[in-house]
Amino acid sequence: MKAILIREIKLFFGSPVGYLVIALFLLLNGLFLWVFDGEFNILNSGFADLNPFFNIAPWIFLFLIPAVTMRSFSDEIKQGTIELLLTKPLSIWQIVNGKFLGAFVLILLALLPTLIYVFVLYSLGLPEGNLDFGSTLGSYFGLLFLIASYTAIGIFTSTLSENQIIAFILSVFICFVFYFGFEGLATLLPNSSKIISMFGMEYHFKSMSRGVLDTRDIVYFLSVTVLFLAATVFNLKTIKN
């Protein structure tokens, strides 16, 4: 698995892809949070908190992560190297986990520079240091679990087609349904709104954003991640056979 992880990281940073992903994520966040007027502009909100960042990040990741993961297996299938990969002295789970961790580490590297926002808001607060660290820390943890789930979905859809664009579209669609779809459905069925909302990522992400790390939220994200990684393994076993 370590060999696959290192191979993926080298592929990302051996081409402009890795640098482009990090630069694009930071550029989009920087523009929406500090430059463009609107509901996400922190300077115009009058409050020293990172809620605008945590509100927009799931939307950016919704497109960014599928763009990173779409080539994971679809490229291997298209080039015919998938059979060679599956014959390596590694289990399919190790191969999948290596691909997953490679994409996850890349997105994590894109997220790390945003910690500068915490320092900036800490300095801008009146009085200085007037920042809800509990909520901020919980939101960052929520983002980590959200990234893991998005990445697992993207890895899974990359096994469905040798066409990277199709893999990208499928990944965006499934991520959208899991994050926003259930919340939208809940508004149409008010009698069962809470139960339906609990099936969606947004409900659990917002719960963690309050600064309380509930085991139910952690179990939910881990379950979604493992579910799609298991589905990826199943698809690869089908290809292998």
- Contact between residue 236 and residue 155 where contact means Cβ atoms under 8 Å apart: no
State mean pLDDT over 157-180: 94
* pLDDT single digits (tens) 179-228: 988 887 877 777 777 788 888 999 899 888 887 778 999 999 999 999 99
Question: Which residue, among 153, 165, 129, has the nearest Cα to 230 in the 3D structure?
Answer: 153
List C-alpha distances in Å: 89 to 7, 79, 95, 159. Answer: 15, 20, 10, 20
pLDDT number for residue 46: 66
Q: Is the pLDDT of residue 70 over 70?
A: yes
pLDDT in tens, 41-58: 877 766 667 888 898 999
What pLDDT, on the 0 to 100 scale, is given for residue 118?
Answer: 84
Residue with more model confidence, 111 or 4:
111
Q: How far apart are CA 142 and CA 211, in angstroms?
A: 9
Give 3-state DSSP helix, strand, coil % of the chain, rounded to 5: 80, 0, 20
- What integer pLDDT is reported at residue 130 of this predicted model? 65
Binning pLDDT at 50, 70 and 90, where does residue 90 land? Answer: confident
Confidence of residue 7 (pLDDT cuts 50, 70, 90): confident
48 vs 102, residue with greater confidence: 102
Q: Indicate the average pLDDT of the chain.
A: 86
Long-range contacts made by residues 5-11, C-beta under 8 angstroms, separation at least 24? 5/98, 5/101, 5/102, 5/105, 7/98, 7/102, 8/72, 8/98, 8/99, 8/101, 8/102, 8/103, 9/102, 9/105, 9/106, 11/102
Supply the pLDDT for residue 129.
Answer: 59
pLDDT at 78: 85
pLDDT at residue 136 above 70?
A: yes
State how far Cα 153 lies from the chain centre: 9
What pTM did the predictor assign? Answer: 0.92
pLDDT exceeds cutoff 70 at 127: no
Q: Two tokens at 94?
A: 């190790």
